[in-house]
């Protein structure tokens, strides 16, 4: 025996649901404007910037040993320089490749694919925010509990949590 589906109306949504919808809509809109190629290259650039800063920040920071005594400060300086440098290089590459896409006449296809990427990115951002919120007392608040959308994103959040480093899980146990 099947149960009747509850009707979802705008009045039944909490402000948390509206925030989720707004975040995803904003991501879709930005991707529509920028297009798939620019969005993809931008995402790759940000991931590369984090990886380069994380893996080589200490090495670059050691070059400041004569000027900065604190190891932590050197690590931060090296990481920030590499992070910003990688973002600048990525922006230049992104501009060059995006210019080629515009000249080929594929901008309409690029924008449609951008919408799909923007939707996926919006879902990912919301899922990450829900994951981060799960480490706080926010899920105990009434607007969170009454949200109709959060349960749909918790599956994705749980999946993402499987990729979170053990160090983050250590924070949760404290």
Q: Which pLDDT value is given to residue 1? A: 54
Helix (H) or strand (E) holding 15: helix 15-34
Q: Which pLDDT value is given to residue 72? A: 87
Q: Which pLDDT value is given to residue 171? A: 46
Instruction: Enter the pTM of the model.
Output: 0.68
Q: Which pLDDT value is given to residue 170? A: 47
Residues of the chain where predicted confidence (pLDDT) is lower than 50: 167, 170-171, 174
Q: Which pLDDT value is given to residue 28? A: 95
Contacts of 28-33 with CB under 8 Å at 24 or more apart are 28/115, 28/118, 28/119, 28/122, 29/118, 30/118, 31/114, 31/115, 31/117, 31/118, 31/119, 31/121, 32/111, 32/114, 32/115, 32/118, 33/111, 33/114
Phi-psi region of 6 (alpha: psi -120 to 50; beta: other; left: phi over 0): beta
Q: Which pLDDT value is given to residue 101? A: 83
How far apart CA 24 and CA 27 sit, in angstroms, is 5
Q: Which pLDDT value is given to residue 165? A: 65
Q: Which pLDDT value is given to residue 6? A: 61
Task: List, as one string, the DSSP characters of 34-48.
Answer: H-HHHHHHHHHHHHH
């Amino acid at each position: 025996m099947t149960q009747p589906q509850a009707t979802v109306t705008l009045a039944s949504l909490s402000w948390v649901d509206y925030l989720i919808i707004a975040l995803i809509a904003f991501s879709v809109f930005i991707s529509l404007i920028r297009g798939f190629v620019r969005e993809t290259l931008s995402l790759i650039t940000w991931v590369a910037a984090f990886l380069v800063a994380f893996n080589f920040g200490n090495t670059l920071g050691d070059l400041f040993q004569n000027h900065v005594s604190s190891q932590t400060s050197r690590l931060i300086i090296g990481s920030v320089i590499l992070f910003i440098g990688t973002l600048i290089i990525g922006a230049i590459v992104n501009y060059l490749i995006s210019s080629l896409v515009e000249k080929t006449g594929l901008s309409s296809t690029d924008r449609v694919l951008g919408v799909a990427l923007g939707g996926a990115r919006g879902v990912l951002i919301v899922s990450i925010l829900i994951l981060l919120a799960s480490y706080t007392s926010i899920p105990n608040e009434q607007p969170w509990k009454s949200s109709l959308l959060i349960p749909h994103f918790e599956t994705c959040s749980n999946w993402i949590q499987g990729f979170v480093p053990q160090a983050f899980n250590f924070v949760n146990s404290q």
